[in-house]
Amino acid sequence: MDSLYAIFSQSLQQQQPNKIVLALSGGVDSRLLLALLSRYQQTHGVVCIAVHVHHGLSENADQWALQCQQWSQQAGIKCVVEQVQLDHSGKSLEECAREVRYQALSQHVEQGDILITGQHSDDQLETFLLALKRGSGPKGLSAMAQVMPWRNGLIVRPLLTVPRTEIERVAQQLQLQWVEDESNQDTRFDRNFIRHQITPVLKQRWPHIHSAVQRSAELCAEQEALLVELLTEQFESALASDGSLSIATLESKSERVRMQLLRMWFAEAQLRMPSRDHLALIWQQVALATDDANPILNLGQIQIRRFAQCLYQVLPAEEISHWQAPLYVDQCLILPDGVGELRLSASPMGELALTEQQVSQLSISFNPEGLTAHPVGRGHSRKLKKLFQEYGVPSWLRRRTPILLCGDEVVAVLGLFNCKPFAGKGYKLDWRAKAR
């Protein structure tokens, strides 16, 4: 116990967190972490909470949640149960469960906090072999880092160098109870197949394979970090302020450098890393498509699109061009599909001059079809479709940009311009947009 606590304590003290969040599944590894964290909290006085994610996949899930709450109470640590639902259309059950689990955990990790998870050296070996099976490069073969930035804080894996047998030995020594997830025996899942069919053979042949894999993972991580360091300047020169990537800059690079810059682009956006084949498709089918094309490449939860000789990562969106709603003074209008919210208020600092009658006719639309507008500073009116092109609005945003109408007349296109007939003082329009 003392040797494990020393490893645990050292990994946390180096970070000096504001709060520690424990991912508590109830399995032996996180159960032991709960005991170690209880001791650490008493010694250091840091705020600690445990979060149990209730997936509802097992008939025992309710009982596991209850046990985690009871164990946390005994340990003197607050426990929060997050109940989630899985929609694994197009994804494996494992992948979907992992994504929703980390999404639930992220709600409790604020700036300066750390999330601690119970992965150990057997998990590291499994992760390395899974990456090898997928044909991953240095980044994938880096497997899991003991400490890494995550969301608003850090992930720390205090037991990453400790084998499962040692964790089980100490847990039994402390007479701890834990849950056994029956799905861990199901070898239809790749990780379980490796755990039960592959790892035992490897460990029997090479007892120190855990250490060898850890060294290889660390070397791969060093190589990946070196690549990023050497290419950061080139990446920054290709990256625009809106997060897009310059095709012209990429075209001037060798194929190897270009592919690495694309990988860095995905890493920068914290997106799942595409395969080599997908990277080739991004370049051949999107970047190099004919000038009059509007190419779209679907990659899981995002689309890769092109506009003005730049590549964009775009979240698929609902069709909202037929949505319309009245806008009232001093009332917040929630826009559809997470586009944001609007508020019109009377203000001498505002840039819209409206009569009382005009105010009563205001509405918001997303459909530019058939509309014309006369932006302030322009000599004449133009079709809104042409103005979107002139103002550099990507095609996928042209029916997601709020249009303020007075009857059928355009008053303003939010984020772009106000119209000359309504320019003046009297009303202020605030749009709190949400990035997509």
Residues 340 and 428 in one domain: yes
Residues 183 and 92 in one domain: yes
228 is known to lie in a ligand binding site: no
Phi, psi of 297 (to 5 degrees): -120, 115
Is the residue at 307 inside a domain? yes
Residue 416 binned pLDDT confidence (cut-offs 50, 70, 90): very high
Residues 310 and 341 in one domain: no
For residue 311, list its beta bridge partners. Answer: 245, 306
Cβ contacts of 92-98, under 8 Å, gap ≥ 24 = 93/57, 93/189, 94/189, 94/190, 94/191, 97/55, 97/57
From 314, 347, 362, give the residue that closes a domain: 314
Is the residue at 225 inside a domain? no
Using an 8 Å Cβ cutoff, are 37 and 77 in contact?
Answer: yes
* Distance (Å, whole) CA 343 – CA 320: 19
Is the residue at 366 inside a domain? yes
Residues 63 and 210 in one domain: yes
Residues 6+ apart with CB under 8 A from 316: 298, 301, 302, 303
Residue 157 binned pLDDT confidence (cut-offs 50, 70, 90): very high
Residues 117 and 57 in one domain: yes
What's the pLDDT score for residue 55? 84
Is the residue at 374 inside a domain? yes
From 289, 314, 339, give the residue that closes a domain: 314
What's the pLDDT score for residue 16? 81
Is the residue at 330 inside a domain? yes
28 is known to lie in a ligand binding site: yes
What's the pLDDT score for residue 196? 93
What's the pLDDT score for residue 2? 79
Say whether 345 sits in a helix, a strand or coil. strand
Residues 6 and 38 in one domain: yes
Residues 6+ apart with CB under 8 A from 292: none
Is the residue at 231 inside a domain? no
DSSP secondary-structure letter at 352? B
Residue 5 confidence (pLDDT) above 60: yes
Residues 256 and 283 in one domain: yes
Residue 338 binned pLDDT confidence (cut-offs 50, 70, 90): confident
Residues 78 and 98 in one domain: yes
29 is known to lie in a ligand binding site: yes
Range of the domain at 279: 239-314
- Between 114 and 435, name the one with better pLDDT: 114
The number of distinct structural domains making up the chain is: 3
**pLDDT over 90, % of the chain:** 71
Residue 135 binned pLDDT confidence (cut-offs 50, 70, 90): confident
Residue 126 confidence (pLDDT) above 80: yes
Is the residue at 174 inside a domain? yes
Is the residue at 319 inside a domain? no
**pLDDT over 70, % of the chain:** 98
26 is known to lie in a ligand binding site: yes
Q: For residue range 52-111, what is the model confidence (pLDDT) as tens digits?
A: 999 877 888 899 999 999 999 999 999 999 988 877 665 677 778 888 898 899 999 999
Residues 260 and 164 in one domain: no
Residues 51 and 171 in one domain: yes
CATH number of the domain encompassing residue 107 = 3.40.50.620
From 170, 201, 216, give the residue that closes a domain: 216
* Distance (Å, whole) CA 155 – CA 151: 9
Residues 210 and 254 in one domain: no
Residue 435 confidence (pLDDT) above 60: no
| Least confident among 53-62, 163-172, 414-423 | 53-62
What's the pLDDT score for residue 189? 86
Q: What are the respective helix, strand and coil percentages of the chain, to the nearest 5?
A: 45, 20, 35
27 is known to lie in a ligand binding site: yes
25 is known to lie in a ligand binding site: yes
What's the pLDDT score for residue 183? 83
Residues 46 and 113 in one domain: yes
